């Protein structure tokens, strides 16, 4: 897998994962729904953790275990910064982007896996 594709897929998954973790918190759930309410916290947290773990896959695939872990840590940071910026600017669009990027990146990853 090319390094650029791996980086972008991992970044997409990291963004989606971080968004899921953010919307599991009442403060950001409220920003999303516009009303006070209890988010499905545990489900969102599990989803977020799973997406963040999935972000490791393309990294290890493209760079191997050592460099891949370094890239993964950095890309999780980058995804989180992007997520904070997106939620503060437009929480609904952040959620939509996460819903598109997470499954999209997973599909692309599966496609690349089958193609190989």
Partner 1 sequence: MAKAQATSGAGQGGFRQAQAWLHTWCGLWFSWLLFAVFLTGTLAVFEEPITHWMTPEHHAEEAAALAAPAKPTASLGQRLDWGVAYMQEHHAGAGMWELWPADAKGAGELRVFWFDSQRQYASAELDTATGEALAAAGHAPARQTLGGHHFVDFHYELHAGKVGLWIVGIAAMAMLVALVSGVITHKRIFKDFFTFRTRKGQRSWLDAHNAVAVLTLPFQFMIAYTGIVISGLTFMPAGVVTQFGADGAMAFQAALNEPGKPRPSGQPMALPALESFARRGEQLMGQPVRAVVIDHPGDAAARIGVYGWNEDAGARQRLSPTSGLAMFSAATGEVLQVRLPGGVDGGKASLTQSVLAGLHMVAFGGFALKWLYFLCGLAGSAMMATGAILFIVKRRSRHLGEFGSATARVYRLIEAANVAAIAGLGLACISFLWANRMVPLGLAHRDDWELAVFFGVWALALVHALARPAAAAWKEQLGLLAALCLLLPLLNALTVGDHLGAQLLRGDWESAGVELFALATGLAAVWGRRSMARRKSIAASVRRSGASVEAEVKA
Report H helices in 38-90: 41-54, 56-89
Distance between CA 19 and CA 14 in Å, rounded? Answer: 8
Residues that bind partner 1 (CB under 8 A): 3-4, 6-7, 18, 21-22, 25, 27-28, 63-64, 66-67, 70-71, 73-75, 77-78, 80-81, 83-85, 87-89
- Smallest separation, CB 69 to partner 1 (Å): 10
Instruction: Indicate the DSSP class of residue 7.
Output: H
Q: Which is nearer to partner 1, 73 or 100 (CB)?
A: 73
49-70 burial, b at 16+ Cβ within 10 Å, e below that, comes to: eebbebbbbbbbbbbeeeebee
Minimum distance of partner 1 from residue 20's CB (angstroms): 11
Task: Rank residues 27 and 96 by Cβ distance to partner 1 and give the closer one.
Answer: 27
Please answer whether residues 113 and 30 qualify as being in contact, where contact means their C-beta atoms are separated by less than 8 angstroms: no
Q: How far is the CB of 110 from partner 1 (least distance, A)?
A: 21
Query: Closer to partner 1 at the Cβ: 50 or 84?
Result: 84
Q: Please state, in angstroms and rounded to a whole number, the distance separating the CA atoms of residues 68 and 14.
A: 14
Q: Name the minimum Å distance from CB 62 to partner 1.
A: 8
């Amino acid at each position: 897998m090319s390094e650029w594709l791996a980086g972008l897929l991992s970044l997409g998954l990291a963004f989606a994962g971080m968004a899921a973790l953010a919307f599991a918190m009442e403060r950001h759930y409220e920003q999303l729904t516009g009303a006070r309410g209890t988010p499905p916290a545990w489900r969102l947290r599990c989803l977020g953790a799973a997406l963040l773990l999935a972000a490791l896959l393309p990294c290890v695939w493209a760079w191997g275990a050592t460099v891949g872990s370094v890239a993964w840590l950095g890309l999780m940071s980058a995804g989180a910064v992007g997520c904070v910026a997106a939620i503060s600017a437009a929480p609904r669009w952040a959620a939509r982007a996460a819903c598109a990027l997470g499954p999209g990146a997973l599909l692309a990853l599966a496609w690349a896996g089958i193609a190989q």
